[in-house]
Structure 1
Amino acid sequence: MRTEPPGPQHEWLDGEAGPVVRPYTLTGGRVRSAVDGFDLVAYVLAGPDAADPQLPPEHRRLVELAHQPVPVAELAVELDLAVGVVRVLLGDLLDRGLVAVHEPPAAAHLPHDEILKAVVSGLRAL
């Protein structure tokens, strides 16, 4: 039989796991962003006037982390949230004009495979 520690208990806390909040509560039940999905390597940058005390805590933390360009995947790691949740939260911030998202270049702008292979061969020859 498990005994509860003395003091007030809260149903949202778990002694071993920490705060227990379902991801859909952070997104208001939404699973998709209002804006098209963000690439994992897309860089996010907060605007100069993005600090808004009225924002929910997760949104404020995203703005704090994005004062320097940071990839979407790294934001998910820093917040310890699923990438899908971070994408929804970023969509909220983007919709309000608080952040800018810089997507990676399209594949058409990347060098051809032959050029990359020639570079690798040249590097190996050194």
Structure 2
Amino acid sequence: MTEDMTGAPRELGSQWYDHEAGPLVRPYAMTGGRTKSGPAGVRFDLIALVTLDPGAPATEGVPLGPEHLALIDLCRKETQSVAELSAGADLPVGVVRVLLGDLLELGCVTVSRPVPPAQLPDERILREVIDGLRAL
């Protein structure tokens, strides 16, 4: 037994277990200490949309962790943003980005970005179209 900061006795190894939350796993353990996500040039913004690739190669022989499999299961249901995946898997966004990079390199998922606001049609044009349709 050791003592914590308050002087109360504590069992050895108990700092890795929270009785309310269960065992604690540090984020760097889930990513193997990596902080960079995926191939160069690919950014996983919070609003980037992740879709399970239906033509993805089989992952039976690939060593995927439980966190990878959780992300695959979440994407299997529907296309989700990086932020939604982070919340759904209960993982930090940085960890999700690294894990998605792994899945992207394996060809399991595809990533797309929503249309930037600068490329959307001008509101004035949309109003003219609506007015024209109403006139019909």
TM-score by length of 2: 0.69
Could you tell me which runs of 5 or more consecutive residues in structure 1 were left unpaired when the two chains were aligned. 120-126
Verify: 1:60 aligned to 2:57, yes or no. no
Structure 2 residue aligned with 1:47, among 43, 46, 53? 53
Compute the displacement of 1:25 (Å).
Answer: 0.9
Compute the displacement of 1:72 (Å).
Answer: 0.9
Per-residue CA shift, 1:56-91, capped at 9, x if unaligned?
110011011101211111100011111111011101
Per-residue CA shift, 1:28-64, capped at 9, x if unaligned?
1111203322121121111234663431110011011
Identity of aligned residues (%): 49
Map 1:1-126 → 2, pairs under 5 A: 1=8, 12-35=16-39, 36-48=42-54, 49=56, 52-53=59-60, 54-67=63-76, 68-112=78-122, 115=124
Q: Is the 8 A contact 1:50 1:63 kept in 2?
A: no
Compute the displacement of 1:105 (Å).
Answer: 1.4
Q: What is the aligned-residue RMSD (CA, Å)?
A: 2.8
TM-score by length of 1: 0.74
In 2: Cα distance, 1:78 partner to 1:91 partner: 18
Could you tell me which runs of 5 or more consecutive residues in structure 2 were left unpaired when the two chains were aligned. 1-7, 129-136
Q: Is the 8 A contact 1:50 1:99 kept in 2?
A: no
Q: Is the 8 A contact 2:38 2:104 kept in 1?
A: no
**How many aligned residue pairs are there?**
115
